[in-house]
A and B are shown apart, each in its own frame.
With several copies, the nearest count.
Chain A
Amino acid sequence: MTNSSEYTINELMVTAAARELQDGDLIFIGVGTAGRAFTLACGIPIAAARLAQETHAPNLSIYWNNLLSPDLEQIPPRLTQHYLTTWPTSAQLHNCSDKNDMLSRGMFDVSFDSAPQIDRFGNLNITAIGDYKKPTRRLIGCLAQTDHFAYVRRPLILTDLKKRTFVDKVDFITSVGHLDGGTSRTDAGLRPGGPSRVITDKAVFGFHEETKEMQLLSVHATSSTEEVLAEMSFEPLVNDDVSATQAPSSDELRLIREVIDPRRILLTT
């Protein structure tokens, strides 16, 4: 066993995410831009997927940026277009229709998603803050995040815990999580599912089996329940027996540092 001083929060987030992945899963990883956004959208998810492959899920597959099962031994040093175009991969499907069909056919098991607003029922907003028609802050739109939440079996929310992110009710529902809780998601006609876990830099949350409210499951060793609640605009369900998030094992740390991300391309900031 390692103790908390021996791993970074990013490494903890990687192992927490990897534990949510199962053998045979097909994982959707989106595009990230740069800095922390890249680490959250691509870096941690890819490291987690590879860690799962190296440990308990050898037959897990990754879909990234229209590339299916790219050769992760050859992650390009930069992600300009040419590196993406020529990155060795098993399949680069003919146009985005194929990816969209794979989504709506329900072929993906897990996706990683983030948003500037996340509410107590796991609905996400990446479209607009304030009034939709004349917003105080226009965001990026929808991308496929709506589709992830509609079709992927076990979407994972991966983000940093912040008071203005974790809101009671999103201003706009870009992506339907558990909607208004209870059976409201399937009542609206959506397939069963919705986000399964929220992995943050301070804690891991799930959703209550019946009410579908966000529920604090574990707190990282570097944080406390009080600190966690202080970073949220709503009060999540808190189990009496909130545990400490399981620390990465020394073997996991070795894999992350020596095999998966030796050049520190994935886990930079």
Chain B
Amino acid sequence: MKSKLVHLADAAALIPNGASLTIGGSIIRRSPVALIRELIRQEKSGFTVLAYPAGFTTDLLAGAGAVDRVEAVYEGLFQFGFAYNFRRRVEAGELDIRDFSEVAMAARFRAAASGVPFMPTDALLGTGMAEHNPEQIREISCPFTGRKLHAVDAATSDFTLLHGYVADEYGNVQFPVARDADDLDPVMAKAAQRLIVTVEKIVPHSEILKTPNLTYIPHTWVEAVVEVPFGAHPLSCDGFYDEDEAHMQDYQLLMKDGRFAEYADRYIRGAVDHAEYLSAALTPARIFELSVR
């Protein structure tokens, strides 16, 4: 096995402008936020984002003007309200948005994970999503029953970016037994063309060998693995730390007024790397407050 351990900046550097990115996690939980911040720091742009429920990471990219198209089931910040940057760009007609229901979007990722070009579904019959997106949602007829169905296209992307719990240097990523499974990370991982995983902690390979049933992303699927403690901050990483409500509320106050640049100057462009971000956004005492391990 080959070590796939890289630094955050090097992982982000793999991703060119205009790439399509599947981003894991869910709204305000366990998304690869540090990696998204690094993409913005490197002034990458022109992305297409595929997500299940999109949330904070997509809003950051929208704030930075780095995303041109979004395919997802939801865009918002859950209890913290609207995804203002995202919403502003959609309302300006500047963002190509493709809405899918959860069943339909999950079917699309599953198609990609299975290597088939489409999945059949009846979830979107009669909806506005189907009406506005004949490119990706096409009517078919079941060859056995004759039932009217849609084919939805496989959700393939150039890169899949996930934040996980622990991994070894080879990229075997494991979850803790107690976790929140309200996401599609395992399916997205399997569907990935090029998979970059950030994790809270790199552990010895010998630890991984003890509990192989907890490996949900095996090393052969992974191109690069990055150790980024608090890499989902200000979001939560279940089993490690809770969401940083104060940070999120401050973010929303700024975004509501269109002050993304101010936020970015302080936390993204103004912090040369993840270590500086952590210093800017957290104190040691606050880290202990948020930790739940």
Interface residues of A (CB under 8 A from B): 24, 26, 31, 33-34, 58-59, 61, 65-69, 71, 79-82, 84-86, 88-107, 125, 127-128, 132-138, 140-147, 150-151, 172-176, 179, 185, 188-191
CB of B182 within 8 A of chain A?
Answer: yes
Closest to B91 in A: A138
- Interface residue ranges of B83-108 to A (CB < 8 Å): 86-87, 90-93, 97, 99-104, 106-107
- Given the known A-B contacts A90-B170, A95-B186, are A142 and B125 also in contact in the complex, defined by CB atoms under 8 Å? no
Which residues on B sit within 8 Å (CB–CB) of A102?
Answer: 190
Q: List 19 A-B contacts (CB under 8 A).
A: A65-B182, A67-B212, A69-B1, A81-B28, A81-B180, A85-B180, A90-B208, A104-B115, A127-B128, A127-B129, A137-B91, A141-B53, A142-B74, A142-B129, A146-B102, A173-B131, A174-B129, A176-B127, A190-B125
A98–B75 CA distance with the chains assembled, in angstroms: 22
Stretch from B34-42, B214-222, B273-281 contacting the other chain: B214-222
Query: B187 contacts A82, CB within 8 Å?
Result: no
- Given the known A-B contacts A80-B236, A82-B238, are A150 and B125 also in contact in the complex, defined by CB atoms under 8 Å? yes
Closest to B182 in A: A66
Q: How many residues on chain B are close to A (CB under 8 Å)?
A: 82
Closest to B27 in A: A31
Closest to A81 in B: B236
Interface residues of B (CB under 8 A from A): 1-2, 28-29, 52-53, 72-76, 78-81, 86-87, 90-93, 97, 99-104, 106-107, 110, 113-116, 121-129, 131-132, 147-149, 168, 170, 172, 178-187, 190, 205, 208-210, 212-213, 215-216, 218-221, 236, 238-239, 242-243, 245, 292
Closest to A171 in B: B128
Which residues on A sit within 8 Å (CB–CB) of B113?
Answer: 101, 105
Measured CB to CB, the closest approach of chain A to B131, in angstroms, equals 8
Measured CB to CB, the closest approach of chain A to B54, in angstroms, equals 8
Which residues on A sit within 8 Å (CB–CB) of B186?
Answer: 94-95
